[in-house]
Amino acid sequence: MGREKVAEEALNLLRSRLCDPSFVFKPLSNSPDSNYSKLKFIISSSVTEACNNSILLLGPRGSGKIAVLELVLKDLLEEYPDMISVIRLSGLLHSDDNCAFKEIARQLCVEHHLLFSKMASFDDNSQFMIAMLRECGLAHKTVVFVLDEFDLFAQGKQRVLYSLLDAMQSVTSQAVVIGVSCRLVCSLLNYKITTECEAVLSWDSDEFNENKLEVLTIDVICRLCFLDADQLLEKRVRSRFSHRKLLFLPPSKGDLQRLLEHILSLPIDSTLPHDYAVEFNAKLQNLSINVSVLIVFMFRSLSNLLLIDHDTRFRAVSYMDLGSGLLSLENFITALSTMERQPKLECIKEYKSIHDAFQTSDYYARNVCFRAFEHLLQRELICFTDNRGHNQSVEFRPVKLLISSHELHQGLKSYRSCPVSCSWKTCYCVHPSMTISSAKGFFFYPYG
């Protein structure tokens, strides 16, 4: 019916909004002291004063570095038409200098409507780049190099960075090198995620605790950022690199709420029928408060708060039932409940179900035990301590347990588990590295 179609349309709108980060981060950009304005100032200065510049954007994943950068670039391109040409490199793709210069040359060609020869050698490309830089410098055109995954460029011999920066210094060019990295922040992130289960379990939900955690996280991030790129860069590169950094932090709760409304509220003036939009937004208003609270409450690990919260919104929207066409709190709750996953625990259920077999029936054939053992391997609950000895028969290779006993017990609690299995599984955890045969010995042991 009509309602359905309208709802679907709204849904599409919301989804497309959620999916492009530049829209998501627009509201964060308008405040004067925001990264947006800083970045814009730097670049525009190098455009106007015709000087070289280099800057490093640091921040955890999803904190909108690239998004803000894109915003800035878009606006600048509007301000100074055909005075800026942007070269985008990603450390994932172009960390190897050969294809880095190839890519640079290609994009330069595309920018300036030249035709690009695949056959060009490394030297040709670098020569071409320097020539182009000089030309642009003379023509007062700014070349902006965006190096995503900056840390990957910083690995190895850093020839790309060096020759790039060197070229900038040697010829009278005006170029901006913008490194974007989340190095070490993301390693922290891993840490957070892996300890997520404990986090959820151990921490109770008082604001103080949460704030303390937030503070902690933030200054950890700051410290990391300070010791980040300096340690990464070689001396010759570092000497040529201006140590300007922009730090992107995950948004605070207020920001979150603002974001929420900004993203989810339907535009009043649009194809959507007016009353529907109004009703929707009204519903959203009284939702958003406790939704954001809910989100923050559910997820202690703030470092990846934004990511998860992002997904959450996405899911919630996708759960929006087309019948009412309205977002309800239930949508969010279901979304969140689906969001919190404890994969290990799920594995452990299987794990246990396998091993019930063992200690209840001591007479199972050894190949069945091996099959169960291989299941464990597939689920990566255990792994071989050494990957060298594949010629050796699987029977005698030492294995180690990949999950903490804590997780194990959690899994067993969440599963209706018999005490016996708990007991011997704990002892399995006590000896984390043992051969499968000895593990079998454990199975065949009388309980306890």
Nearer to another protein, 15 or 236 (CB): 15
Per-residue tokens: 307: 């990511």
Least Cβ distance, residue 33 to another protein (angstroms): 26
Nearer to another protein, 93 or 213 (CB): 93
Least Cβ distance, residue 48 to another protein (angstroms): 28
Nearer to another protein, 16 or 169 (CB): 16
Q: Is the separation of the CB atoms in 217 and 303 below 8 Å?
A: yes
Least Cβ distance, residue 444 to another protein (angstroms): 11
Least Cβ distance, residue 77 to another protein (angstroms): 16
Least Cβ distance, residue 414 to another protein (angstroms): 12
Nearer to another protein, 219 or 395 (CB): 395
Q: Is the separation of the CB atoms in 133 and 168 below 8 Å?
A: yes
Nearer to another protein, 252 or 435 (CB): 435
Nearer to another protein, 50 or 199 (CB): 199
Least Cβ distance, residue 13 to another protein (angstroms): 9
**Cα 247-252-258 angle, rounded to 5 deg:** 115
Q: Is the separation of the CB atoms in 244 and 39 below 8 Å?
A: no
Beta carbons within 8 Å of 434's beta carbon, 6+ residues apart = 398, 399, 428, 442
Nearer to another protein, 30 or 393 (CB): 393
Burial of 307 (0-12, 13-18, 19+ CB in 10 A): middle
Least Cβ distance, residue 395 to another protein (angstroms): 7
SS3 88: strand
Which neighbouring-strand residues pair with 25? none
DSSP 446: P
How far is residue 438's CA from residue 422's CA, in Å, rounded to a whole number? 18
Q: Is the separation of the CB atoms in 195 and 300 below 8 Å?
A: no
Least Cβ distance, residue 137 to another protein (angstroms): 27
What 426-431 contacts at long range (C-beta under 8 Å, 24+ apart), as own/partner pairs, is 428/401, 429/401, 429/404, 429/405, 430/405
Helices (H) and strands (E) in the chain, counts: 24, 8
**Cα 75-82-38 angle, rounded to 5 deg:** 35
Per-residue tokens: 379: 């689920």
Q: Is the separation of the CB atoms in 417 and 358 below 8 Å?
A: no
Q: Quick one: which H or E segment has residue 57?
A: strand 53-58
Nearer to another protein, 175 or 316 (CB): 316
Nearer to another protein, 60 or 137 (CB): 60
Q: Quick one: which H or E segment has residue 178?
A: strand 175-181
